[in-house]
């Protein structure tokens, strides 16, 4: 991290971070979208005018404002304008519909709700009215405006809860995760510290700004003073023109994004799909080692992957100067101030190299959940967040994730890691992507089911062929899949394209 970035990292609030960056490099660009460019100085000025407009609407410090908006310059401006006021924000992923949105509005008790109107064929304003939302306003290309002189002083306390992020509900309702300005700054600092970027870089936001990755990434821009291209709708190959046009040097999002870039590169072997690209980076989903090796080998760029969640936006991150082995097989190291404890079932710490539950403590950790009952069960007696993830820490400090507690398949009393099998499946040439789940079985308790997505043109895959291949790769016999399902596409969420295993269990569990 540069000395300037270290100094900015000490900012108490997000608004203070914006002000300090605007003073340092007011004319440097921060957000790029199509033909539009917003500089750091213009960002501050526009946010103050929008904050004044919101203030005129009745938004005050502590007012809960929900917004469900796509990844646009206006969305970032609205969010930072709310941060200038000290309002409590409840961002909602724009692909969510009545059930999830209604739940978020009710639970957060939002007094205002910003929507894009009709976006991608869906009428968000009509949905808001249908749900009985209060204070509905459209904020797609026009934002509230007012005179900054009327504004109250900006907030100075960075440790008050001002953010409610929503976990993606699976078989139960989403959980409202409580964050502060400081926890978001700490998360973004971890990302910035690991990637070794400079003001000469150009980043990209191909994910929903309403995701926890939104502030994570924006904090990095503010710390280092470089811009990012925003994609309202991301799809390859359509988005490649924008990457090339703006000279993007850093791209990514999650494993699914790496695979999409890799698929485009394979259409043009020997010709860099984005000539300026030097780094893919992301997190939010497991990364098979073969994906790392394929990106480096075929795209000629470095790949760094990290570990984060809605509750802790950035926990560890691979660094470009890590060894290839560390980058391929670990989630990187935690930054200073992030404590990782690996425990057994009773919560007792385990030594290096021994798998156990991952628990976390540090400034980037959330304050708990909107539902106090949920908060009581997520922290242990020492204040560590209980993640439900399984892994171990190497003596080098690198974290290795081996699965989730609920993702451990128990077959005839033996624990089987789904991730171990998935990593091997990704090395098979007829496998484009794969997920392994445990399905109920009356004799074995659970059976191992491999669900495979094949690349275009691949020969059909059979279970005997697959198990023969896995045995040749050294997988123990008791871990071999007993069932194979080939699907056209694995079910994924709309944020970071993470595979939704619960849908696979629902689909195949009753067969």
Give yes or no: residues 400 and 416 share one domain. no
DSSP conformation letters of 105-128: HHHHT-SEEEE-SEETTEEHHHHH
Mean pLDDT check: name the lowest of 48-62, 166-180, 194-208, 323-337. 166-180
The answer on pLDDT for 172 being more than 70 is no
**Enclosing H/E stretch for 19:** helix 14-24
pLDDT, average across residues 423-440: 91
Structure confidence at residue 348 as a pLDDT band (50, 70, 90): very high
Question: What pLDDT is recorded for position 420?
Answer: 86
Percent of the chain topping pLDDT 90: 73
Which residues have a Cβ under 8 Å from the Cβ of 400 and sit 6 or more positions away? 329, 330, 331, 391, 392, 393, 394
Count of alpha carbons within 13 Å of 449, Cβ hemisphere only?
A: 24
Domain boundary among 384, 404, 424: 404
Structure confidence at residue 318 as a pLDDT band (50, 70, 90): very high
Dihedral over Cα of 359, 361, 366, 368: its sign: positive
Plot region of 183 (φ>0 → left; ψ -120 to 50 → alpha; else → beta): alpha
CA distances from 284 to 48, 406, 497 (A): 33, 17, 9
Structure confidence at residue 443 as a pLDDT band (50, 70, 90): confident
Asked if the structure places residue 472 within a domain, the reply is yes
Structure tokens at 275: 């000539």
What radius of gyration, in Å, describes the C-alpha atoms of the chain?
23
Give yes or no: residues 21 and 135 share one domain. yes
Asked if the structure places residue 207 within a domain, the reply is no
Cα of 234 vs its chain's centroid, Å: 15
Closest CA to 210 of 503, 499, 496: 496
pLDDT, average across residues 330-338: 93
C-alpha angle 456/499/282, rounded to 5°? 95
Q: pLDDT tens-digit profile of 3-36? A: 665 566 667 999 999 999 999 999 999 999 999 9
Helices within 38-155 (DSSP H only)? 40-57, 73-85, 98-108, 124-130
Residues 253, 173: Cα–Cα separation, whole Å = 25
Q: In terms of residues, how long is the chain?
A: 511
The answer on pLDDT for 402 being more than 90 is no
Give yes or no: residues 25 and 102 share one domain. yes
The whole domain housing 451 covers 412-508
Domain boundary among 180, 195, 225: 180
Q: pLDDT tens-digit profile of 67-94? A: 999 999 999 999 999 999 999 999 999 9
Asked if the structure places residue 204 within a domain, the reply is no
The answer on pLDDT for 171 being more than 50 is no
Residues 454, 460: Cα–Cα separation, whole Å = 8
Decide: 233 and 206 in contact? Cβ < 8 Å. no
Asked if the structure places residue 193 within a domain, the reply is no
Question: What pLDDT is recorded for position 495?
Answer: 63
List b or e across 286-323, with b for residues whose CB sees 16 or more CB atoms inside 10 angstroms: bbbbbbbebbbeebebbbbbbbbbbbbbbbbbbbeebe
Question: What pLDDT is recorded for position 475?
Answer: 83
Q: For the chain, give me the number of helices (H) and strands (E)?
A: 16, 26
Give yes or no: residues 70 and 134 share one domain. yes
Give yes or no: residues 174 and 51 share one domain. yes
Residues 4, 22: Cα–Cα separation, whole Å = 13
Dihedral over Cα of 348, 349, 354, 360: its sign: positive
Asked if the structure places residue 230 within a domain, the reply is no
Q: What is the domain-level CATH number for residue 60?
A: 3.40.50.980
Q: What is the domain-level CATH number for residue 496?
A: 3.30.300.30
Question: What pLDDT is recorded for position 78?
Answer: 98
Total count of domains within the chain:
3
Asked if the structure places residue 216 within a domain, the reply is no
Give yes or no: residues 322 and 445 share one domain. no
Q: At what angle do helices 40-57 and 73-85 cross, to 10 degrees?
A: 60
pLDDT, average across residues 262-285: 92
Q: What is the domain-level CATH number for residue 386?
A: 3.40.50.12780
Give yes or no: residues 283 and 376 share one domain. yes
Domain boundary among 404, 437, 454: 404
Q: At what angle do helices 14-24 and 40-57 cross, to 10 degrees?
A: 140
User: Which among 231-240, 249-258, 281-290 has the top mean pLDDT?
Assistant: 231-240
Dihedral over Cα of 255, 170, 493, 128: its sign: negative
Question: What pLDDT is recorded for position 168?
Answer: 66
Question: What pLDDT is recorded for position 170?
Answer: 46
Give yes or no: residues 264 and 352 share one domain. yes
Structure confidence at residue 256 as a pLDDT band (50, 70, 90): confident
The answer on pLDDT for 360 being more than 60 is yes
Give yes or no: residues 114 and 241 share one domain. no
Give yes or no: residues 347 and 431 share one domain. no
Give yes or no: residues 170 and 114 share one domain. yes
Percent of the chain topping pLDDT 70: 96
pLDDT, average across residues 408-413: 78
The answer on pLDDT for 144 being more than 70 is yes
The rounded mean pLDDT for the chain is: 92
Give yes or no: residues 378 and 271 share one domain. yes
Kindly tell me the burial class for residue 132, based on how many C-beta atoms sit within 10 Å of its own C-beta (0-12, 13-18, 19 or more).
Answer: exposed
Q: At what angle do helices 213-224 and 73-85 cross, to 10 degrees?
A: 80
The answer on pLDDT for 511 being more than 60 is no
Question: What pLDDT is recorded for position 6?
Answer: 59
The answer on pLDDT for 169 being more than 60 is no
Cis peptide preceding 223, ω within 30 of 0: no
Asked if the structure places residue 213 within a domain, the reply is no
Asked if the structure places residue 161 within a domain, the reply is yes
Decide: 255 and 422 in contact? Cβ < 8 Å. no
């Amino acid at each position: 991290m540069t000395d300037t970035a270290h100094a900015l990292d000490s900012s108490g609030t997000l608004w203070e971070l914006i002000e300090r960056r605007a003073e340092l490099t007011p004319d440097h660009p921060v957000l790029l979208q199509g033909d539009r460019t917003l500089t750091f100085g213009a960002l501050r000025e526009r946010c103050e005018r929008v904050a004044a407009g919101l203030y005129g609407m009745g938004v005050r410090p502590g007012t809960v404002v929900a917004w469900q908006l796509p990844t646009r310059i206006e969305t970032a401006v609205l969010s930072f304008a709310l941060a200038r006021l000290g309002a409590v924000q409840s961002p909602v992923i724009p692909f969510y519909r009545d059930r999830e949105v209604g739940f978020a509005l009710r639970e957060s008790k939002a007094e205002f709700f910003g929507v894009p109107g009709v976006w991608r064929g869906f009428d968000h304003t009509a949905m808001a009215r249908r749900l009985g939302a209060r204070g509905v306003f459209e904020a797609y290309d026009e934002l509230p405006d007012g005179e900054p002189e009327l504004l109250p002083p900006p907030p100075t306390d960075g440790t008050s809860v001002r953010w409610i992020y929503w976990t993606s509900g699976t078989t139960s309702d989403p959980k409202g995760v409580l964050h502060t300005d400081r926890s978001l700054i700490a998360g973004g600092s971890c990302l910035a510290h690991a990637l070794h970027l400079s003001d000469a870089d150009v980043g990209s936001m191909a994910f929903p700004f309403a995701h926890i990755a939104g502030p994570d990434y924006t904090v990095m821009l503010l710390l280092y003073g470089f811009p990012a291209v925003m994609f309202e709708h991301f799809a390859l190959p359509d988005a490649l023109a924008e990457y090339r046009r703006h000279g993007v040097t850093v791209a990514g999002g999650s494993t699914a994004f790496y695979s999409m870039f890799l698929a485009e590169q394979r259409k043009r072997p020997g010709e860099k799909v984005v000539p300026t690209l030097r780094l893919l980076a992301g997190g939010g989903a497991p990364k098979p080692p073969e994906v790392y090796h394929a990106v480096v080998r075929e795209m000629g760029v470095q790949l760094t992957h990290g570990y984060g969640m809605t509750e802790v936006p950035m926990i560890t991150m691979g660094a470009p100067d890590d060894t290839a082995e560390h980058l391929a097989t670990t989630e990187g190291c935690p930054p200073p101030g992030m404590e990782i404890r690996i425990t057994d079932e009773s919560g007792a710490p385990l030594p290096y190299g021994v798998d156990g539950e991952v628990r976390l403590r540090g400034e980037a950790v959330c304050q708990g959940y909107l539902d106090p009952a949920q908060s009581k069960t997520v922290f242990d007696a020492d204040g560590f967040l209980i993640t439900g993830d399984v892994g171990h820490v190497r003596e080098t400090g690198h974290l290795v994730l081996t699965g989730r507690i609920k993702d451990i398949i128990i077959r005839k009393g033996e624990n089987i890691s789904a991730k171990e099998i998935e990593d091997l499946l990704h090395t098979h040439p007829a496998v484009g992507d794969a997920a392994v789940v445990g399905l109920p079985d009356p004799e074995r308790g659970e059976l191992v089911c491999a669900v495979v997505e094949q690349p275009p043109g691949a020969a059909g895959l059979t279970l005997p062929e697959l198990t023969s291949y896995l045995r040749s790769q050294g997988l123990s016999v008791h871990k071999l899949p007993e069932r194979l399902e080939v699907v056209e596409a694995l079910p994924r969420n709309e944020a970071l394209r993470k595979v939704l295993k619960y849908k696979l269990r629902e689909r195949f569990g009753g067969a």
